[in-house]
């Protein structure tokens, strides 16, 4: 994949053009998808990649939250017992 010119999109974000090589059969299907969704191939791919990156970022954030919780678990009131084993098994 090689990159070419730069510009800005409607949201003011800097855009970097790329050259992408795809098998012809895949490109044909992508063109049909783009037409069905009334988008350019570029917009379709950009949105798909943005969704992938957002999902990955959310996964990484969730994984980090889980790691922090494992290192410092919250007190759920389970560390202090107010009962004995015998009391639990009384009949």
pLDDT, tens digit, 9 for 90 and up, residues 2-17: 555 666 666 778 999 9
Task: Determine the pLDDT at residue 80.
Answer: 74
The whole model's pTM is what?
Answer: 0.66
SS (H, E, C) 42-91: HHHHHHHHHHHHHHHHHHHHHHHHHHHHHHCCCCCCCCCCCCCHHHHCCC
How many Cβ atoms are within 10 Å of 64's Cβ, its own excluded? Answer: 10
DSSP 8-state symbol, 2: E
- List the beta bridge partners of residue 2: 19
pLDDT tens digits, one per residue of 32-86 = 999 999 999 999 999 999 999 999 999 999 999 999 999 998 877 776 777 788 8
Task: Determine the pLDDT at residue 70.
Answer: 93
């Amino acid at each position: 994949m090689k990159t070419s010119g730069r510009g800005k999109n409607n949201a003011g974000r800097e855009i970097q053009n790329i050259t992408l090589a795809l098998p012809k059969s895949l490109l044909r299907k992508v063109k049909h998808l783009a037409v069905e969704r009334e988008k350019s191939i570029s917009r379709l791919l950009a949105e798909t990649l943005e969704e992938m990156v957002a999902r990955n970022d959310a996964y990484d954030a969730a994984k980090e939250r889980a790691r922090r919780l494992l290192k410092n678990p919250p007190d759920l009131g389970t560390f202090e017992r107010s009962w004995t084993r015998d009391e639990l098994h009384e009949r």
